[in-house]
Amino acid sequence: MEIQLQELIDKIRKDGVEAAEVQAEAILNAAKAEAQKMIADAQTAADKIVTDAKNENIRMVKSSEDAIRQAGRNLLISFRESVARELKAIVGESVAAAYSSQSLEQIIINVVERWASAPETENLTVILNGDDLERLEKTLLASLKERMQKGITLKANDNFDGGFRIVVGDGTVYYDYSTQAVVEMLSNYLSPKVAQLMKEAE
């Protein structure tokens, strides 16, 4: 009886130890798996942080480069606009000076002579602002006397500052030699030339 009891005790101990060992091994394996998962998650998070930092650095460098390029373009555009304004001002001063002098009279005479010499031209009207007409009327009438007998007339119109306009026939066609029109025309012609010179100087 004592032997059987001892055997039973030994068996219970053995089974308990084995069960404890199995449970301990399961706990150990679970802990190892959890540790590996935590290490993998930490590595993934670290990799993401590094990748995000690299991407952010690339984005910031590109953004800085784009900003520098845009600033350069803005500076160049501003400079070109400034040159265009200066050019227009210079052209404007030159045209205004020519139109305010006796040169205007000769310019009008030359233009009228050319227009009037064309066989298809009929009824030319030269339009000036009131001040210029008053200043030049006598000399123009004297110079264009012969032409005026063939249908050339002088008229005043204060809708433009200086220069003149040529109206052909019934007025549906006119050619604008006013200060503003000539300045625009010369500026538009000269601006590409100046831009080309600036490009060649780079």
Q: What is the pLDDT along the chain (202 residues), one digit of tens a residue?
A: 566 666 666 666 666 667 667 787 777 777 788 878 888 877 888 788 888 888 888 888 888 888 888 888 888 778 777 877 887 888 888 888 877 777 888 888 888 888 777 666 677 888 888 888 888 888 887 777 766 656 778 888 888 878 888 888 776 677 888 888 888 888 887 777 776 766 665 5
- Residue with the two structure tokens 């100046």: 194
Residue 174: phi and psi, rounded to 5, are -145, 155
pTM over 0.75: no
Q: What is the DSSP letter of 202?
A: -
Residue 116's CB is within 10 A of a number of other CB atoms, namely: 17
pLDDT at 201: 56
pLDDT at 192: 77
- Count of alpha carbons within 13 angstroms of residue 149, beta-carbon side: 4
Domains and CATH numbers, the chain: 102-201 (3.30.2320.30)
Task: Tell me the residue ranges of DSSP E strands in 88-188.
Answer: 124-128, 152-156, 163-168, 173-178
